[in-house]
Amino acid sequence: MIKNTSEIKFKKYLDKWGGLVPVEAGNDIPFDIKRVYYIFEVKDGVRRGFHSHRDLEQALICVHGSVKILVKTPYEEDNILLDDPTKALYIGPMVWREMYDFSPDAVLLVLASEHYTESDYIRDYDKYETEAKAYFASEGEIR
Ligand code: T46
């Protein structure tokens, strides 16, 4: 995994009545959850994201269907397939992300460490690269 990203696996309870996955802030998620949102009904071929966050930490869980996530820093990149509701992709600060190849039935659930703050977004890639190089030179890896 690239810097400031990681995979989180959840325990699944599967019995004759179906499946259940508990997700607890602090225990399963390495931050306090202040916001939850979900992305769904994404049209074929649509690519979303194209930004980084300065401080926000998030965990992305594809609770139904599948989606791919490009995560990228100025130095490395990775493409992660989310197709399993027992798996989350943790994305920390200063990681560029793009979400693509949504299956028609995909529901991408996102747990976030902060309320929605537009000033935390960096949406211009050149600006991101400049800030990220300074960030990784001084802060390095947080997880
Ligand atoms: C991220 C990826 C994975 C709100 O009003 N409140 C919210 O909490 C969010 C997340 C969005 N919005 C509004 C802002 C826009 O008018 O919803 C609209 C769509 O948001 P955006 O274009 O930022 O969506 P994505 O899919 O590009 O990115 C989202 C998150 O914004 C972002 O933090 O990491 O999902």
Task: Give the whole-angstrom CA distance, residue 80 versus residue 7.
Answer: 9
Helix (H) or strand (E) holding 112: strand 107-112
pLDDT at residue number 140: 54
> Tens of pLDDT along 76-103?
999 999 999 999 999 999 999 999 999 9
> Tens of pLDDT along 52-68?
999 999 999 999 999 99
Task: Give the whole-angstrom CA distance, residue 20 versus residue 11.
Answer: 9
How far is the centre of ligand 1, averaged over its atoms, from the C-alpha of 18 (Å)? 31
Confidence band of 141 (pLDDT split at 50, 70, 90): low
First to last CA, the chain: 11
Q: Ligand 1 pocket check: which of 48, 97, 100 to mutate, most ligand atoms within 8 Å of Cβ?
A: 48
> Tens of pLDDT along 16-52?
999 999 999 999 999 999 999 999 999 999 999 999 9
How far is the centre of ligand 1, averaged over its atoms, from the C-alpha of 129 (Å)? 21
Asked if pLDDT for residue 109 goes beyond 70, the answer is: yes
Q: Ligand 1 pocket check: which of 4, 31, 34, 37 to mutate, most ligand atoms within 8 Å of Cβ?
A: 37
Instruction: Establish whether 51 is a catalytic residue.
Output: yes
63: number of CA atoms within 13 Å, CB side?
15
For residue 121, the cross-strand partners are: 53
pLDDT at residue number 143: 43
At a CB cut-off of 8 Å and minimum separation 6, what does 104 contact? 44, 65
Cα angle 96, 98, 102 (rounded to 5 degrees) comes to 160
Asked if pLDDT for residue 106 goes beyond 50, the answer is: yes
